[in-house]
């Protein structure tokens, strides 16, 4: 099959068959518009302690440096929306994406049949799969591939689906017909900006050093005292900007078994959270993205929430 349009259509159909929420294609090339934005964001220190964002600047902007000869970037979305299920309304909260098994492993596993299908259909192709695991500006590619637009909170939003989905990419030398880029539908809405308790969000920008997700996950030292009382009960990550977004009224529950939360986790009371031992932490969060912050990090977050409540 030599027609780029037919090839793209075949891949998209297979992606949907495999359970992906959306699949789109962008032409591989240097991200000219992103270069000055990324440079300015880094110069302003908006990356917080995420020093890895400062590395591989050229790779982030040019997929052909990751896959020489790349012609197409296939962007995919994988739904993870789970209606809030924590039984105790006073319990410390964790971001919805961390309810189940670590998404890096789950989504990578779901990509493998698609990779195999492409190789089976089109023969020897040079291709690499990425699930938030390399210097790839996944939001920019999702926007270019028509998956959705970057909202004022910088998360990608898809009409009719919201923003509770993971992004992943296949960068390949296979020529595919590109999709039209997504257009912005935030309008005059600023709910995410107004709802952020740490004032981390500006229109179409996030100061990572002030973001609750950064403070509870990426930051390795003590959380600055200025944020005491501003964490809104979040112990790992934060969903506020997504929860208030009108587009997420269209979110539908995922169908991924490995994203289903453990009943024990959802049933933890506030006292059980604050009294959690390392042994309990290891058992409850086995295979979870929460392991990223380690027990010491979660303990730090919980202690901050308790001090704020006293």
Neighbours of 15 (CB within 10 A): 24
CA distance 39 to 140: 15
Query: Distance (Å, rounded) from C-alpha 101 to C-alpha 27?
Result: 32
Active site residue 62: no
Catalytic residue among 132, 184, 271, 303: 132
- Tell me the residue ranges of DSSP E strands in 173-222: 201-202, 205-206
Q: Directed axis angle between helix 103-122 and helix 4-17, to 10°?
A: 140
Q: Which residues pair with 219 in a beta bridge?
A: none
Do 75 and 142 touch, CB atoms closer than 8 A?
yes
What φ, ψ does residue 308 adopt, rounded to 5°?
Answer: -65, -30
- Residues catalogued as catalytic: 132
């Amino acid at each position: 099959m030599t027609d780029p349009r037919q090839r793209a259509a075949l891949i998209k159909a297979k992606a949907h068959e495999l359970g992906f929420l959306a699949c789109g294609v962008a032409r591989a090339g240097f991200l000219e518009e992103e270069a000055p934005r990324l440079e300015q964001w880094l110069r302003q220190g908006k990356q917080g302690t995420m020093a890895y964002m400062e590395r591989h600047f050229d790779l982030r902007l040019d997929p052909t440096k990751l896959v020489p000869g790349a012609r197409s970037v296939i962007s995919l979305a994988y739904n993870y929306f789970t209606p809030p299920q924590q039984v105790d309304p006073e319990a410390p909260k964790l971001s919805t994406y961390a309810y189940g098994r670590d998404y890096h492993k789950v989504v990578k596993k779901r990509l493998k049949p698609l990779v195999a299908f492409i190789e089976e259909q089109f023969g020897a192709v040079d291709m690499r799969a990425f699930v938030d695991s390399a210097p790839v500006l996944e939001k920019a590619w999702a926007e270019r591939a028509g998956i959705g637009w970057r909202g004022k909170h910088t998360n990608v939003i898809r009409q009719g689906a919201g923003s509770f989905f993971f992004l992943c990419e296949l960068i390949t030398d296979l020529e595919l017909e590109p999709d039209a880029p997504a257009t912005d539908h935030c309008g005059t809405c600023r709910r995410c900006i107004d709802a952020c308790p740490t004032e981390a969000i500006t229109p179409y920008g996030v100061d990572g050093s002030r973001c609750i997700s950064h403070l509870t996950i990426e930051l390795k030292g003590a959380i600055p005292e200025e944020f005491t009382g501003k964490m809104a009960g979040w112990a790992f990550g934060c969903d506020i900007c997504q929860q208030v977004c009108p587009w997420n009224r269209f979110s539908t529950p995922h169908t991924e078994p490995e994203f289903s939360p453990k009943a024990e986790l959802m049933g933890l009371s506030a006292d059980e959270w604050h009294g959690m031992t390392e042994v309990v932490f290891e058992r409850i969060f086995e295979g979870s993205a929460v392991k990223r912050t380690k027990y010491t990090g979660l303990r730090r977050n919980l202690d901050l929430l308790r001090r704020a409540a006293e």
